[in-house]
Amino acid sequence: MNPSLVSYIEREVIPRYERFDAAHRVDHAQMVIEQSLDIASRLVGELKVAKHYPVIQEMVYAIAAFHDLGLEVDRKTHHLESGRIVRETERLREWFSPEEIETMAQAVEDHRASSDHAPRSIYGKIVAEADRFIEPEKIIERTVQYGLANYPEYDKEGHWQRTLDHLHEKYAEGGYLKLWFAESPNVQRLEALRKIIKDESRLRAIFEKFYNEFTEQ
């Protein structure tokens, strides 16, 4: 990994996540970077991928670091704003060609789970998969966190219903979440989450734990 790129990302990019909501802070950016690099290393280990579409580690790293910066502008279109930020960041031209920067911008634009099209490159699939890193209780925790931060007018039952609706819409069978690598650990983790979603009493108990934890702080 190019040390000057790493220094720039760590000093000037990752700290920008501190201004976002609790579910998209520095720890989220670091998790997506770590998972993206792990997925990329697995792909490079497969000869057919390495031969036909070499994965450049520095590109994967930068895409993961920039993927949510558009939250600085607007949540609903943050993926598009993130792509614009990649295209307009002059410092990236020190390490990447114009063609590589455009691929990176498209990958950032394509990472959103609710996107109506498949990622346009292997890079988009990598960051999309990494951003969906599924840890069942963590997903529920972040859902409750987001609801409390963005819907302060809801009472407890309102937050419960929002949590239920969101989990069904995104993660349940038929939900809009898509996974891009059949061998990904996310496949088994998603199945575990779906079992919790189907067991409403168990889901309610997990919701209660996080709701009480966050509202008593």
Quote the mean pLDDT of the chain. 90
> What is the per-residue pLDDT for 111?
85
Band of the pLDDT at 114, cuts 50, 70, 90? Answer: low
- State yes or no: pLDDT of 108 exceeds 70: yes
pLDDT tens for 165-176 read 999 999 999 998
Report the pLDDT value the prediction gives residue 42, as an integer from 0 to 100: 79
Q: Which residues have C-beta within 8 Å of that of residue 73, sequence separation ≥ 6?
A: 81
Q: What is the pLDDT of residues 181-203, one digit of tens each?
A: 877 788 899 999 999 999 999 99
Say how many C-beta atoms besides its own lie within 10 A of residue 188's C-beta: 10
The answer to whether residue 64 scores a pLDDT higher than 80 is yes
What's the full length of the chain, in residues? Answer: 217
Separation CA 32–CA 129 (nearest Å): 9
User: Full-prediction pTM beyond 0.85?
Assistant: no
Q: Report the alpha-carbon distance of residue 83 to residue 68 in Å, rounded.
A: 9
**pLDDT of the residue at 151:** 95
User: What's the pLDDT score for residue 84?
Assistant: 96
User: Where along the chain do its domains lie?
Assistant: 3-131, 136-215
- 40-51 mean pLDDT: 65
Whole-Å CA distances, 13 to 27, 33, 89 = 13, 12, 11
CATH 1.10.3210.10 fits 3-131, yes or no: yes
Q: pLDDT: is 48 or 14 the higher one?
A: 14
pLDDT digits (tens, 9 = 90+) for 72-105: 998 888 889 999 999 999 999 999 999 999 999 9
Six-digit token pair at 14? 């990752």
